[in-house]
Amino acid sequence: MYNHAAAIKAQCHHAEAPRPGATRFPEVHMQLIDDPDAMYRLLIQGVVDYAIYMLSPEGIVANWNLGAERAKGYTSAEIVGKHFSVFYSQEERDRDQPGQNLETARQTGRFEAQGWRMKKDGGSFWAHVVIDAVRDPQGNLIGFAKITRDISERRENELQVLEAKVLAEQYSAEMASLSRFLDSVIANIPASVIVKDAQTHRVLLANQQAEALLSVGGVNMVGKMLSECLPHEVAVYMDQQMGDDLRAGDIRTAETLISTNRGPKTLRSRTVLNRDPGNTTDYVLYVAEDVTVELAATARIHHMAHHDALTGLPNRVLFHDRLKTTLAQAQGSEKLTAALCLDLDDFKNINDALGHGFGDKLLRALSNRLRSELRDRDTLARLGGDEFAVVLPELDTAEAAEVTAQRLIQAVRPPFLIEGHSCSVGVSIGIALSPQDHDTPEQLMGYADMALYEAKRNGRNRFERFRAQLDEAARYRRSMETDLRTALHFGHLQLHYQPIVSQNGEQISGYEALLRWMHPTKGAIMPMDFIPMAEETGLIHEVGNRALNLACQEAANWGTEQTVAVNLSPVQFSNPGLVDAVALALADSGLAPARLELEITESVLLENSDENVNTLRALKALGVAISLDDFGTGYSSLGYLRSFPFDRIKIDMSFVREMANSKEALAIVRAITGMSNSLMIKTTAEGVETVEQMQQLISEGCSHFQGYYFGRPMPAAERLESVNE
Ligand SMILES: [Mg+2]
């Protein structure tokens, strides 16, 4: 058999004798040198990191070292003599990979590759394989030297490095993308961003907004000191915001008005110090928003919330604040504070007659006049509609408030010239003083309002000071109001009927229904003592309905054709349901409409006359009669008689009473009856107390009579049923 070891030795140049002067080996080793075969065998067999073995030219394993045994699991006895293809997978064997590799080594002298190799136990490892063709000195192939190394671990490491590299590249790409994204955010946020190095104080970053708004000429700020690229004023401001006194963790916020490239702007800024993990200050970040527009809008909203849009004067909210503040400041001083309530007289009529546009102009002109009569420290407010109010602080005397009130009345007195109309309006004023009247804003205004009510009651276009009696009167009115509600609830309102006589005093043609309030403790209360209060509080609608329904029901039970007359308050005409209420009262009671008369006064025609005349026509269309009450006491315009076809005119009792002694009174009675007769309108003389009066009225042509001479108002059951009783 061919001596492989010898052949390998022949290939090995190291096998030469030691050079002269080389270390001398001990004797035993010298024996090995003398027997190179044994030496190489020992050497190769002792190598454990490499599988080293020989193959025959056909690929049969010829020998086997420890390294091979360790790498592949076969012992020498198990593998020597077997074909080396057992180290390949079945798939590789199927395509003759082992043969091809040997062929490569045979032709080129060497095959080298990495790949999977199989172990005895069926496992595999990643191997670095070298197959060298071994030839004898004559060049004949005598076999192959095969060196295999298990490099699974190295390959694993390489794979991990590769994977790490891929990940690093991915991460780097992500970071680059994130960085671009952040750059885009910083470039596009509607705020100015500046970052400076905390050590060198040079600008590291400034977005476009910051440069356009702040830097001199909008130039690039990066790399510069702030003082080099900002106007002096802005640089001083920046130094305040980004200065060295900022401590880590602090967030400095500020709202500062500064002069910028776009004019004066209020910047709302935040400055923070960024520290790196070593806790050394790294850079300073400044972010600022331009809040000029926002602040202006807030200011505008605030102004709108506190001022009246029409006149620009403080509104009720601000007025209340000012009054409160003034009262607080006045505490402990000798000075007085006055609260004035102002109300225009008959402003509603102006609005109705000339329109709201005109009314608005009048209010503006009027508020200018009022304002010019006041001191700077006084507050004039419009509370709404035609209501104004004034706070007069720091007065020495109560009279000073009266003097101012009088001046305000005088200022309003000259006519206003608006849109070619000359228009006059009066103002009534109520005054309350602190501390003598009260020292809380609410109570003081309540008292000023009571004084205003009194001024209106006393004839308007005047002022009144608050007095304790006004409070008592107001309390009385309030308690009466409560009582009246109770009275409505419990049916304490009754009707008394006064006869109306016709046929020269011989026949009762009907009755006037008159309200009586049967108060449980105060006794019977007459209409004049509670109707005005009912009109003020709006209770009149309920009271009026009650009277209407009661009158219709009671009259329906009389079993006669006599009429029943019910008084309507002018205030009831403001209720759009009035006509329906009358129709319902008729329907509910079954009273023939012709038996119902409604008495109105001239004031119904004075206010809102077009609308009210329409209501009267609708009432008349129901079939009821309409009477004009108390004629002769008001304006007594004959125009009223033309504007609506009244069924009856009632001559006020004052003329009847004075008729005997006053030629004027008699002339008026004569004029009314004469005119009424020619217009075919019935006339009722009120307040007839004597037979002489009746005879006189008969001779003047009066058709009907009413008064104590015939009978007083009585409950339905006790009413006078015939003149001859
Ligand atoms: Mg009447």
59 Cα: distance to centroid of ligand 1 (angstroms): 144
475 Cα: distance to centroid of ligand 1 (angstroms): 30
Return the amino acid letter for 440: T
- Tokens linked to 311: 């006149």
486 Cα: distance to centroid of ligand 1 (angstroms): 25
Give the span between the Cα atoms of 52 and 50, in whole angstroms.
6
CB of 556 closer than 8 Å to CB of 591:
yes
Give the span between the Cα atoms of 215 and 194, in whole angstroms.
11
479 Cα: distance to centroid of ligand 1 (angstroms): 27
619 Cα: distance to centroid of ligand 1 (angstroms): 17
pTM for this predicted structure: 0.52
219 Cα: distance to centroid of ligand 1 (angstroms): 91
601 Cα: distance to centroid of ligand 1 (angstroms): 8
pLDDT the model gives residue 186: 87
pLDDT digits (tens, 9 = 90+) for 536-553: 888 999 999 999 999 999
349 Cα: distance to centroid of ligand 1 (angstroms): 26
661 Cα: distance to centroid of ligand 1 (angstroms): 25
Stated as kind and residue range, the H or E segment containing 599 is: strand 596-600
582 Cα: distance to centroid of ligand 1 (angstroms): 17
CB atoms within 10 A of CB 99: 14
599 Cα: distance to centroid of ligand 1 (angstroms): 6
490 Cα: distance to centroid of ligand 1 (angstroms): 25
| Ordered structural domains, the chain, with CATH | 4-150 (3.30.450.20), 189-296 (3.30.450.20), 312-466 (3.30.70.270), 480-718 (3.20.20.450)
Return the amino acid letter for 715: P
Using a 10 angstrom Cβ sphere, with 0-12 exposed, 13-18 middle and 19 or more buried, the burial of residue 250 is: exposed
196-209 burial string, b = 16+ CB within 10 Å, else e?
bebeebebbebbeb
pLDDT the model gives residue 32: 60
pLDDT digits (tens, 9 = 90+) for 57-116: 999 999 999 899 999 999 999 999 999 999 999 999 999 999 999 999 999 999 999 999
pLDDT the model gives residue 11: 44
List, for the chain, all residue ranges whose pLDDT scores fall below the cut of 50: 1-25
203-206 and 192-197 beta bridge pairing: antiparallel
557 Cα: distance to centroid of ligand 1 (angstroms): 22
* Structural Rg of the chain based on CA atoms: 59
